[in-house]
Amino acid sequence: MTQLAAVISLGCAKNLVDSETMVPQITRLGYSMTEDPAGASLILVNTCGFLESAVEEAVETILDAARYKTSGACECLIATGCMVQRYGKKLASLLPEVDLFLGTSHYHELGRILQEHSRGGAKRLWIGTPRHVPTADMPRARSTDFFSAYLKIAEGCSNSCSFCVIPRLRGPYRSRTVEDVVAEAAVLAREGVVEINLIAQDITAFGSDRGAPDALPRLIEALDGVSGLSWVRLLYAYPDRLDDGLLNAMARSSKVVPYLDIPLQHCVPEILTAMRRHAPLRSAEESVDAIRSRIPGIALRTSLMVGFPGESDADFAALCEFVQRTQFDHLGVFAFSPEPGARAARFPRQVDPAVKEERRDILLEIQRKNSRSRLERMVGKTYPVLIEGTHPETDLLLAGRLAVQAPEVDGSVIVTSGTCQPGQIVSAHITASHDYDLEAEIPLP
């Protein structure tokens, strides 16, 4: 009888790609995959450990999965990912239900470790310094829509932001080669992928660790030659590395969509310095102006942090004015979390949690109005829309995205009239707008 295995992936898209590379390692051992953990003899939980809230979610998920050892078919429970890398030694004693712990340093060796475990291997905790670099020849079972994929171009992070522990969780920055990334993109395109989202902790550092600071512009140029691809999106680009060469490459590309995710975090120079970010306000605003002048109509997403230690009422007022003035297309707002191990957790002048949440709500309300105003100006115009399938709330409508809407994090287009197959990019006429979503009609042929 075939044994079943279930993989539960938590956290970011980078973690999802890791999960997708672990599935083939499991199936090569004779398992068949299932989405129902109750019937799985092997359950793997790939955890996030960036924030304490993510750690709590991961522990709850692991404990839920552990119940299937008595009420289901589970014989082997595995925890992998960032939480394991962060707290592995503590987790081993706190979670006796887990049979194997693999940090981010060992997820690519899951198959070998499982074989060793099945032969009675006594080692339960696998954690070291992450050094693995993904390659195009590493098998991957994609869990996203058949027409869209994330493509990880680098691992780790070598920045030293005072609020962040990711370098400890993922290791130093390690780039793939341009040729290897293009090879994987070509494979994805042959599988029917029309949209690729380039991801890394900082895509603009791509190649810098290899002595090739122009690697990202060269990658963009090379991806233009991959047949079958229509949209290439750049996610998580640090503002201090947005030079003319990169912007010119984006502007020239026939496949890079007019979209850029630039995590600014704040706008007050003193706060940015305390955060150990590289770009002060002046260069951040100049970066925004430069991007918009080089690539007219580009959609900009950013993430901002409120309640960082020492953030005064005046600092927050400046941040609100910055958001109102800059008019980002998409904005994520996060309340500072004093993460154990991060420098900023020990800073003086910590902001009251209630104040942080209030500031977050205020900034999100400003962005809601900004978004509604920007989307209203799109009504009556026609844009290409990537059809994703039926709307999640009703089979009577289709749902899709504009090129300026990234999967999962941005709004969507609700198609109220017309029909089309998932994965197709069609012209759609925008008929109405909401806070973050649009309505559209696909004209009859």
CATH number of the domain enclosing 271:
3.80.30.20
Mean pLDDT on 241-255: 91
300 CB-near residues (< 8 Å, 6+ apart): 259, 260, 261, 262, 288, 291, 292, 326, 328, 329, 330
CATH number, position 121: 3.40.50.12160
Residues 186 and 322 in one domain: yes
For 101, the domain range is 4-126
> Is the model's pTM score more than 0.85?
yes
For residue 137, being part of any structural domain is answered with no
Q: What is the per-residue pLDDT for 313?
A: 97
Instruction: Summarize pLDDT for 163-202 with one digit per residue, the tens.
Output: 999 999 999 999 999 999 999 999 999 999 999 999 999 9
In a domain, 136, yes or no: no
Give the pLDDT band of residue 341 (cuts 50, 70, 90): confident
Task: Please tell me the distance from the alpha carbon of residue 200 to that of residue 185, in angstroms, as a whole number.
Answer: 15
Q: Tell me the percentage of the chain whose pLDDT exceeds 90.
A: 82
Of 376, 410, 431, the residue at which a domain comes to its end is 376
Burial class (CB in 10 A: 0-12, 13-18, 19+), 195: buried
For residue 53, the model assigns a pLDDT of 87
Q: Are residues 212 and 245 in the same domain?
A: yes
133: in domain: no
Task: Check whether residue 45 and residue 93 sit in a common domain.
Answer: yes
User: Do residues 20 and 116 share a domain?
Assistant: yes
pLDDT of residue 279: 57
Quick check: is 30 in a domain?
A: yes
Residues whose CB is less than 8 angstroms from the CB of residue 154 and which lie 6 or more positions away in sequence, other chains included: 133, 173, 174, 175, 176, 200, 201, 202, 203, 205, 206
Q: Return all residues near 290 (Cβ < 8 A) that are at least 6 apart.
A: 242, 247
**Residues 392-407: tens digit of each pLDDT:** 888 889 999 999 999 9
Give helix then strand counts, H and E, for the chain.
13, 19
Residue 139 resides in a domain: no
Count of domains in the chain? Answer: 3
Same domain for 198 and 249, yes or no, is yes
